[in-house]
């Protein structure tokens, strides 16, 4: 008996590029087949998930499990309470996570993964609806699913037809489609996404200015319109924001004096100058409930280093570009 071996791909860059393009083409064709064959099963799956008060538990073995973990993370960050549980762990005590109010999303390309049998049997016994995601609707998974999301049977990009490639891509795409439809059905907003995703540049940009200021923001440096030039410079220095808000007698905003305004004032007689003489009377301002991305855009578009946060015409804080860069809001 002789061992059969696959032909070795040539080291020629053109051959390797051609093979890479073939893999991508096979993936594209698989996604096209998935899109054209999609039926109302996904809509029925969404309605089950939306009707259930508990979590959506995602499970899958091997590569399906890796994809399932990503799908669970996408669902959780877009408004659907979800988490991933390894199917083998369920057979050793974690079936207790499957309460009667949950829904199970089980992923298996063949639908016959041995590790899924215990969770599927448990769900049948406890009346927990199962949404199956497989290429084989007549498999054990398909037969035990309230809704079976069936993927087309297409060839894997692996030359031996073994390594999950096109099948995992279709699984990921179908999981993303499920998450996005649920997101739209829930009316999940960008602000809500920011609450679920406060870390990273994207999450920070979705936070509100009020979130950035915190519960007890330090009071911004302010001076009255009658403040002398020396008092203006002292307030800017103590405030450490490169600017000071000028306020009317009733505390409402009248203008702003920045470091640049101070430097330009040195060309004049400083003796009798007041804040009213030096200030910019129409400064750029933003409300505390605006997104941080809007604040950054306003500063960038107007080429300013400081931005006043104003509520009820009164200054609440001063945002400085250096702070945003230090905190990672601006690169």
From first to last of the 331 residues of the chain, give the pLDDT tens digit.
445 666 788 888 888 999 999 999 999 999 999 999 999 999 999 999 999 999 999 999 999 999 999 999 999 988 899 999 999 999 888 898 899 999 999 999 999 999 999 999 999 999 999 999 999 999 999 999 999 999 999 989 888 877 889 999 999 999 999 999 999 999 887 666 666 666 666 666 678 888 888 767 788 899 999 999 999 999 999 988 999 999 999 999 999 999 888 888 888 877 788 999 999 999 999 999 998 888 888 998 999 999 999 999 999 999 988 888 887 777 6
Question: Residue 307 and residue 319: Cα distance in Å, rounded?
Answer: 5
User: Contact 67/114 with Cβ under 8 angstroms?
Assistant: no
Question: Residue 79 and residue 77: Cα distance in Å, rounded?
Answer: 6
Strands (E), the chain: 56-60, 82-84, 103-107, 130-134, 147-150, 222-224, 243-247, 253-258, 285-286, 306-311, 314-320
Reduced to 3 states, what is the DSSP secondary structure of residue 223?
strand
User: Contact 27/166 with Cβ under 8 angstroms?
Assistant: yes
The phi, psi pair for 138, rounded to 5°, reads: -90, 5
The b/e string for 244-258 (b: 16+ C-beta within 10 A; e otherwise) is bbbbeeeeebbbbbb
Closest CA to 327 of 239, 224, 201: 201
User: Contact 41/47 with Cβ under 8 angstroms?
Assistant: no
Inter-CA distances, 123 with 43, 107, 131, 171, Å: 21, 15, 11, 22
């Amino acid at each position: 008996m002789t061992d059969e071996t696959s032909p070795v791909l040539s080291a020629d860059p053109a051959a390797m590029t051609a093979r890479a393009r073939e893999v991508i083409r096979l993936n594209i064709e698989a996604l096209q087949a998935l899109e054209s064959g999609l039926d109302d099963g996904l809509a029925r799956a969404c309605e089950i998930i939306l009707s259930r008060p508990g979590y959506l538990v995602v499970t899958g073995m091997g590569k399906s499990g890796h994809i399932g973990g990503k799908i669970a993370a996408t669902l959780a960050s877009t408004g659907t309470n979800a988490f991933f549980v390894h199917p083998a762990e369920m057979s050793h005590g974690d079936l207790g996570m499957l309460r009667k109010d949950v829904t199970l999303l089980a992923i298996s390309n063949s639908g016959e993964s041995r590790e899924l049998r215990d969770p599927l049997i448990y769900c049948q016994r406890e009346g927990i609806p199962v949404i199956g995601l497989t290429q084989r609707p007549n498999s054990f998974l398909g037969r035990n699913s309230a809704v079976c999301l069936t993927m087309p049977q297409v060839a894997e990009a692996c030359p031996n037809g073994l390594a999950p490639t096109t099948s995992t891509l279709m699984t990921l795409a179908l999981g993303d489609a499920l998450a996005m439809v649920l997101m739209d059905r829930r009316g999940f907003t960008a602000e809500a996404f920011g609450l679920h995703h406060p870390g990273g540049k994207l999450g920070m940009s979705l936070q509100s200015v009020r979130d950035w200021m915190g519960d007890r923001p330090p009071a911004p440096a302010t001076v009255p319109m009658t403040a002398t030039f020396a008092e203006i410079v002292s307030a800017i220095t103590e405030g450490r924001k490169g600017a000071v808000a000028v306020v009317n007698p009733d505390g409402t905003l009248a203008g702003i004096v920045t470091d640049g305004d101070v430097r330009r004032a040195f060309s004049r007689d400083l003796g009798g100058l007041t804040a009213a003489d030096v200030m910019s009377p129409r400064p750029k301002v933003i409300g505390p409930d605006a997104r941080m991305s809007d604040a950054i855009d306003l500063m960038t578009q107007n080429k300013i280093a400081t931005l006043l946060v104003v509520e009820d015409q009164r200054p609440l804080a001063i945002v400085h570009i250096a702070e945003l860069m230090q905190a990672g809001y601006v690169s």
